Structure 1
């Protein structure tokens, strides 16, 4: 018996059972952490998109206020917002030409053309500054496709990353629930 014990004490390494237990524990931890990590990455992209839209929108709206000396923020009294009723599509390059007047006078230094998922924003604006709907920005969400042009105002379930995020005329029209949307 003492020979068997001496031999075991001299052996180094793990038994098969010990290795299986360690692998099982690592598998359980991975099963818990990976979905949370993936969700956190999507939330970060969503928050980046909203931050970009808020910055662009604030700069654009400041420019608008300087042009007409008035603000139409929150002027809509309907429960839906018709995005396609806002003038025409504006490119990020053309928008920066409007908002970056000179090196000492600018509303924003850079207008990002892509959202957090790498999809193009859609910018729309009108030259009729007295119109009810003057400017808008929207992101197609994770899938990059827009779900239409008519949006019910208010939040959507925050984990539905395919939903469009829409900012128009000084406020968020469609946004993830729980997001800080006060401008």
Structure 2
């Protein structure tokens, strides 16, 4: 009598475990890279938005010989820029419900017109870390002790116009510290 052998179909448990392990390894590598790329893209967008806001603030200054007043609440739209100098004001990619837009500060008082300004994003940690009480040196119209950008450059006058702020000290975001580094992104001028 002949024995009939049936071919077993399907995967063995070992084969399934190997496939699951390989998928887990690939996911462990890909997900952090994806999150890092997303944060870098948002940082790049924030710097581009702040550059556009800087250009609009300077155009406003040329027309009005002063900078706009500071909004009543942090993250509120900068008065007078839209629609004349920008079709619409950008939203901070790291904004929150409490502070949805870029924060704008200037050094004007009731008696004097502003001569310097600062636009700040919440940065990747999503919380406001910088304000004008200790980080903005209004006397010299620049960020006190901060670098002009990753290369530390400043223009010939020593101010920050045209440079993005990301120094890592004093509440500023440092891209070298990883994608979840605390700190804000900023741009000051003139």
TM-score of the alignment, normalized to the shorter chain, above 0.5: yes
Q: TM-score when scaled to structure 2?
A: 0.62
CA–CA distance in 2 between the matches of 1:43 and 1:51?
12
Structure possessing the higher relative contact order (Cα contacts under 8 Å, 6 or more residues apart): 1
Higher helix share: 1
Paired position in structure 1 for 2:26: 29
- Name which of 103, 113, 123 aligns with 1:122: 103
Give the number of equivalent residue pairs: 142
Q: Which has the higher strand share?
A: 1
Q: Within 2, Cα distance between the matches of 1:19 and 1:145? A: 48
Work out whether residues 76 and 103 of structure 2, in 8 Å CA contact, stay in contact via their aligned partners in 1.
Answer: no
Structure 1 residues not aligned, in runs of 5+: 70-85, 171-183
Give 5+ residue unaligned stretches, structure 2: 136-142, 151-166, 168-173
User: Does structure 1 residue 136 correspond to structure 2 residue 118?
Assistant: yes
CA deviation vs aligned residue, 1:22-59 (integer Å, no higher than 9, x gap): 01110110110111111112112212211211111111
Which of the residues 51, 72, 77 maps onto 1:54? 51
Question: What is the SS of the residue equivalent to 2:17?
Answer: helix
Larger Rg: 1
> In 2 relative to 1, CA 89–3 (structure 1 residues): closer, same or farther, beyond 3 Å?
farther
Matched with 2:16 is 19
After TM superposition, give the deviation of residue 100 of structure 1 in Å: 3.2
Deviation at 1:21, TM superposition (A): 0.8
**Secondary structure, aligned partner of 2:58:** helix
- Are 1:89 and 1:122, in contact at CA under 8 Å, matched by a contact in 2? no
Provide the aligned C-alpha RMSD in A. Answer: 3.0
What SS is found at the alignment partner of 1:29?
helix
The answer to whether residue 147 in structure 2 is matched with residue 153 in structure 1 is yes
Equivalent residue of 2:120, what SS?
A: strand
Rounded to whole Å, the distance in 1 between the matches of 2:68 and 2:85 is 21
